Amino acid sequence: MAKLDLRVRLVGKLLARTSVARKSEEQILADQQRTIKHNPVLDWVLGGVASGVKMKDDTAAGAEGRIPVRVYRPKDAVGPLPLVVLIHGGGWTVGNLDIYDSLASTIARDARAVVVSLEYRLAPTHPWPAAAEDCYAALLEVAARADEWEADAGRLAVVGDSAGGNLAAVLTLMSRDRSGPAIAFQGLIYPATDMTLGSPSIEENANAPILTKEDVLRYGSLYVPNLEDRSNPYASPLLALDHTGLPPALIQVAEHDPIRDDGLRYAEALRKAGVPVRVTTYVGMPHGYLAFPRLCRSAPQALAELCAELRRQLAPATVR
């Protein structure tokens, strides 16, 4: 494998001090109550809000009540744009709209799309399937309200990273199985697709920076505490018996990632089912590299690839 950059190793050492594997449930719940607002340091690390994008806070249906959403649209856009539903990562236990402003606004600007970012209920208070059902309920309403945001629900994509990649993949299964909105494309960024931990990379990269095997085990136990549930395809989309009829996918994985093979194995399952897939392995990168665009050298390239695929897959039929 390619050598990790020194700055990536340093970020890993800093984040190791806050590893979820060392936290009690009480500490995790306390973390969820902390509000991290924009500031110069955070914006430098995470990228900040992209220029030329307007944002609006709103709500959408969850499975058991309204959930916060944030809508992003290029300021200079005219007419209906493709609709992208973005689902944040964080091991199903952390993450919020503010932290994902950079990713969401950059997609809106560079993919020329309306992006709706979702904030679902978090584990351990709300274990599986709360997050998945929240996201599906929101997907239904967001698609139904597309005209309100000058978006085209006929050009709909789902995008997510890590736990959000898991949820995005699950949404494509749910929407197919439940006759929900037609999803034209799925962008899965280092997704978790097998909650039964069947990927060899978990051992190979057990001590990787940013995400370790211990972290993976802890996140899984918090989100899907019942071992039997982990084989359910709405928890582990890789384990679905049938992947036919799912939308074309871009799957991006990181070389130094315990769940790297989750993405690679899912790509192979989609290909076997006849689903068009593009896979990119970012060498020398750890899990979560896209969250640190100024620290991880491959982050700009990966984001550009994602936005290019969104533009291509969601272009009007006459333009493709």
Cα within 13 Å of Cα(259), Cβ side: 34
Catalytic residue among 199, 201, 287, 298: 287
Token pair, residue 58, equals: 């709103």
- Residues 6 or more apart from 40 whose CB is under 8 A from it? none
Cβ atoms within 10 Å, residue 8: 23
Q: Check if 162 is active-site.
A: yes
Distance CA 264, CA 261 (A): 5
Q: How far is CA 217 from CA 107, 111, 126, in A?
A: 31, 35, 18
Catalytic residue among 257, 261, 262, 298: 257
The helix (run of H) or strand (run of E) holding residue 61 is strand 53-61
Question: Nearest-5° angle of CA 181, CA 185, CA 190?
Answer: 120
Q: How far is CA 105 from CA 94, 172, 309, in A?
A: 20, 23, 16
The helix (run of H) or strand (run of E) holding residue 67 is strand 66-74
DSSP class of 240: -
Kindly tell me the burial class for residue 250, based on how many C-beta atoms sit within 10 Å of its own C-beta (0-12, 13-18, 19 or more).
buried
Distance CA 287, CA 208 (A): 8
Catalytic residue among 102, 162, 201, 236: 162
Contact status, residue 180 vs residue 139, Cβ threshold 8 Å: yes
Question: Nearest-5° angle of CA 139, CA 102, CA 57?
Answer: 50
Distance CA 106, CA 126 (A): 30
Contact status, residue 309 vs residue 278, Cβ threshold 8 Å: yes
Cβ atoms within 10 Å, residue 315: 13
Q: Which residues are catalytic?
A: 162, 257, 287
